Structure 1
Amino acid sequence: MFNKQEAQQLRKDFWIAFGKSFPRKWILYDTKIKDFSFKFYADPKKAEVSLDIEMNDELFRNAYYEKIWSLEDLLKEEIGAFQKEEFYTLENGKVIARIWVTKENVSIYNKNTWQEIFEFFVEKMEGFERLYYEYEDFIKDV
């Protein structure tokens, strides 16, 4: 296995390689909706692309979640099977709403799976972004 420094360097190399392989600007936090963002995630066992709705006000968080959920069939067309949780608890204890897709059996520490992760990231994030841009006005109207 790796020591802490080696693991940190591999994570850094991973994100640099992803940026060089797919040099484009992703929407991520630039949704124009506070605490409503798209995220990439990779760890030693899986990769994920998610929509995190992190408003502290549960009513607003729920309203945005319901808006996205009303587009369920369109979302499935764009990203395929996904998971959703209206009350997802982060490691720090914060409760958010999350919709995400996961690719199992890949690792940020295994360079042999990096290309597979990168392609997964691009395919799924592009799907999330297409849906968001197509229905942006509807989503923002809370």
Structure 2
Amino acid sequence: MYSKEQASQLRQTFWTTFGQYIAPQPSAEGLKINWVNYKTGIKYLNFRMQAENRSASIGIEISHPDAGIQELFFEQFKELRLVLADALNEDWEWVLHTNDEYGKTISRIYTQINGVSIFNRDDWPTLISFFKPRIIALDEFWDTAKYSFDALK
């Protein structure tokens, strides 16, 4: 078992390692990008990668405080569901109005893997192989889809 400080250090080291590994990859627009802290350009709309003790997930998170507006974002993604699935080459889970770890209502479109741990360095290649193609695919999707969300900014 790790202390809070050790766990925090391991998380930071993993994300730094992942960031360095993926840094040479340009965005869909051919630009340098901070993949770990991906910016969609829309408040309350994030591409989130999470790695924990027993699982890892990547997804689109809608966290607008107004549940109705959150649902509008979610519906707009549903309109683009086939485009998203085509970019990802896989189907993801779609959850309207769930709670995050802080009890805040969010909506998520995500996928996850189980049986991996950010605290086990032997799992890091698996985690990187899980995150890298999916965040790149999300970026490619977002490069064309972001204009569909202009009215919701």
Whether these two folds match at TM > 0.5 is yes
Partners of 1:14 and 1:94 in 2: CA distance: 26
**Given the alignment of the two structures, is residue 39 of structure 1 paired with residue 48 of structure 2, yes or no?**
yes
**1:127 counterpart residue number:** 137
Structure 1 runs of 4+ aligned residues shifted over 4 Å read none
- In structure 2, list runs of 5 or more residues that go unmatched: 24-32
Q: Could you tell me whether the CA contact under 8 Å between 2:15 and 2:36 is conserved in 1?
A: no
Cα RMSD of the aligned pairs, angstroms, is 1.7
Deviation at 1:27, TM superposition (A): 8.3
- Give the SS at the match of 1:37: strand
Moved more, 26-35 or 113-122: 26-35
Identical aligned pairs, as a percentage? 25
- Amino acid aligned to 2:141: L
Matches within 5 A, 1:12-51: 12-23=12-23, 24-26=33-35, 28=37, 30-51=39-60
- Give the SS at the match of 2:2: coil
- Give the SS at the match of 1:141: helix
- Amino acid aligned to 1:107: S
- Give the SS at the match of 1:103: strand
**2:70 counterpart residue number:** 61
**1:112 counterpart residue number:** 122
- Amino acid aligned to 1:117: L
- Amino acid aligned to 1:5: E
- In structure 1, list runs of 5 or more residues that go unmatched: none
* Shift in CA distance, 28/68, structure 1 to aligned 2, threshold 3 Å: farther
Q: Could you tell me whether the CA contact under 8 Å between 2:22 and 2:35 is conserved in 1?
A: no
Partners of 1:37 and 1:28 in 2: CA distance: 9
Q: Could you tell me whether the CA contact under 8 Å between 1:27 and 1:38 is conserved in 2?
A: no
What is the TM-score normalised by the length of structure 2? 0.84
Give 1:87's match in structure 2, choosing from 97, 103, 111: 97
Deviation at 1:12, TM superposition (A): 1.7
